[in-house]
Amino acid sequence: MNQDITFPFKVIVQNHGVVTFPTQDCYIAQGGQGYVLKLNDQAYKIYHDPKTMIPAEKVQELSILKKYPNILCPLEVLFDPNKPKNPIGFSMPYVRKTEFLVRLFNRTFKQDNRITPDTVAELVKNLQTGVQNVHNESILIVDLNEMNFLTDSKTYTTPYFIDVDNYETKKHRTTAIMESIRDPKVQKNQWTKNSDWFSFGIVAFQLYTNLHPYWGKHPDFKLNQWQERMKLGVSVFDKAVTFPPGFMGWDVIPKAHLDWFRKIFQQGERSVPPYPDGALIITVARVTDITSTGKFEVTPVAVLSDRIISVSFHNGVRYAITTKQIYRMDKPVLPTPKTRSGLLSMGGHEPILAVEDQTTIKFTTLDGKECGSTTFEQAMEYGGALYTIYNDRLIETRFEMFQQPMQMTKTLTSVSGNTKLYRGVAVQDALGKHWLAIPFLPGKCTNIPVPELDGYRIVVAKYENRYCQLMGERSGKYTRFVLYFSEDHTTYKCRSAVGPYIGISFAVNAKGICVSALEDQAEICFGDSKISTHSDSPFDPDTELLTDGLNILFIDDRKLYQVRLK
């Protein structure tokens, strides 16, 4: 019998008495096993079916991990107030302002959030320490996949271990594991510390390079035969493997880990990883050119001095934010701020610079004159405007010139307390039901339910010009959703496909042609129909695609290219 959640909702917490969750604002998420609620600094997992709850004995075994603040382990058993002897869940620590670890598998996300190779190295080192801490307590993680970790969204160096109730203890075994991190040497689910370390290696390698160690193209295998390559030890260290454009290169991996990766992935060794020596990582900018392929013509547009973070167009003029400078066309105009920043359109004038400062976004002209600010909890730039979430409202900020820059602010819609803002879209999870809030025109916003997403954890999303693409995870499998909206955004058509995790990268030109980067091909669509796919794509899902209105462009390191079908 399923445990329903209606508010106010009450539970009895072992050794603490009755706890009341007053409103739906206490809701965090819903997964295959149950709901997760929050109250103050505690989270509470309520099972859909109380019969599937882990035994109280296992809660006690796992509670030994509470000495490690970043391992969010079960603490106290929860009971149904109407049946006080019936356990229905458990409490655990709650942390705020986090991201799914898997988002750091994407180069564009790293660039947008100023995540450097040194940052990733620190995160991996802390992840390694956490795994070692679990092992020190004679516990195995087993399903050490990327969706079972969060990271703080401020420094991106603190990993949080979640779904700890599925760990294997001395008295309670585990069988479930995501296939992409399963050690092929393990037989009959006889997990070991070394099988955990193999899984850690796969996650760490993707954090460093954005690529699974058994992906990349090999002449003897199809792209979807990565599991066969895992069994045979044909990894990215094989000389016949070629890499996609988003591969970060070997120099971003500390030598100690690089040598260990080669041993476990290519040579079949199983061992505890060494700790990196802490040496400074020097990232060498890639200088290779991307050239035309059989079906795509690639034309260089610009080569800048530093790695490009973003490109936007204002009044027909190209602006680029790089790691060191903000450029107008090919000329630097001012240094890049140290925190996240973007450019907002202002009629026929130069754009406004928006810079994050703690919980405030400050606006200035490009010559440094202050022209306003706004408080925010989440923020994104889309269509030349800034969109923020604050106090459960989606707010639009635009600029117009009236003798001087004028900040124009408008509340577009209310959103649920459990909302995540992505490029062009706010994804809301209301007790497992998903809604999308999309500011599709200046001053206009749709807020529409999308039942196809219900039950999924949405990892990443993007909206642009009637298209919305999302990547969702459920039961260890990823699904890519493509929504195409009617002109008034009151209806949509949806298609979906199960596959590996990839970033969402697409662009739509003024004619409504959508070009998407998939795992091993480019997809070109018009409207709600799939027009064509091409396997010789010059870009991949780690490549930022954009448009200047008519043309499709993409960013590769410090270069900007235009691409079109021949």
Q: Would the CA dihedral through 105, 106, 110, 113 be positive or negative?
A: negative
Cβ(2)–Cβ(48) under 8 Å? yes
Cβ(91)–Cβ(165) under 8 Å? no
d(CA 249, CA 243): 9
For 243-259, what is each residue's pLDDT tens digit? 988 888 999 999 999 99
In the chain the first and final C-alpha atoms are separated, in Å, by 59
The mean pLDDT of 508-525, rounded to a whole number, is 94
The mean pLDDT of 62-79, rounded to a whole number, is 97
Under DSSP, is residue 202 helix (H, G, I), strand (E, B) or coil? helix
pLDDT band at 1 (very low <50, low <70, confident <90, very high): very low
Order of strands across the sheet that contains 544-547? 296-303, 559-565, 552-556, 544-547
Residue 145: closest CA among 122, 123, 168, 177? 177
Cβ(474)–Cβ(32) under 8 Å? yes
Give the contacts of 509 (CB within 8 A, at least 6 positions apart).
Answer: 515, 547, 549, 550, 551, 552
Is residue 282 pLDDT above 70, yes or no? Answer: no
d(CA 311, CA 545): 10
Within 13 A of 258's CA, how many CA atoms are on the CB side? Answer: 11
Alpha helices for 223-330 (secondary structure H):
226-232, 255-261
Q: What is the pLDDT, as a whole number, of residue 530?
A: 76
For 228-237, what is each residue's pLDDT tens digit? 999 999 999 9
Average pLDDT, the chain: 94
Is residue 285 pLDDT above 60, yes or no? Answer: no
Residue showing tokens 């490549």: 543
Q: What is the pLDDT, as a whole number, of residue 3?
A: 62
Q: In percent, how much of the chain has pLDDT > 90?
A: 87
Compute and round to an integer the Cα radius of gyration of the chain.
24
The mean pLDDT of 165-182, rounded to a whole number, is 96
pLDDT band at 283 (very low <50, low <70, confident <90, very high): very low
Under DSSP, is residue 427 helix (H, G, I), strand (E, B) or coil? strand
The mean pLDDT of 208-235, rounded to a whole number, is 95
The mean pLDDT of 478-482, rounded to a whole number, is 97
Residue 223: closest CA among 477, 518, 544? 518
The mean pLDDT of 194-209, rounded to a whole number, is 98
pLDDT band at 131 (very low <50, low <70, confident <90, very high): very high
Give the alpha-carbon dihedral of 232, 236, 239, 241, to 10 degrees.
Answer: 100
Order of strands across the sheet that contains 149-152? 98-100, 149-152, 159-161
The mean pLDDT of 92-96, rounded to a whole number, is 96
Q: Is cis: bond before 8, omega within 30 of 0?
A: yes
Residue 52 gets which letter from DSSP? G
Tokens of 230: 């895992």
pLDDT band at 280 (very low <50, low <70, confident <90, very high): very low
For 329-357, what is each residue's pLDDT tens digit? 999 999 999 999 999 999 999 999 999 99
d(CA 153, CA 97): 6
| Long-range CB contact pairs, 469-476, < 8 A, 24+ | 469/504, 469/506, 469/516, 470/427, 470/504, 471/501, 471/502, 471/503, 471/504, 473/147, 473/501, 474/32, 475/32, 476/143, 476/145, 476/147, 476/176, 476/177, 476/178, 476/179
d(CA 354, CA 411): 19
Residue showing tokens 């072992």: 14
d(CA 423, CA 504): 10
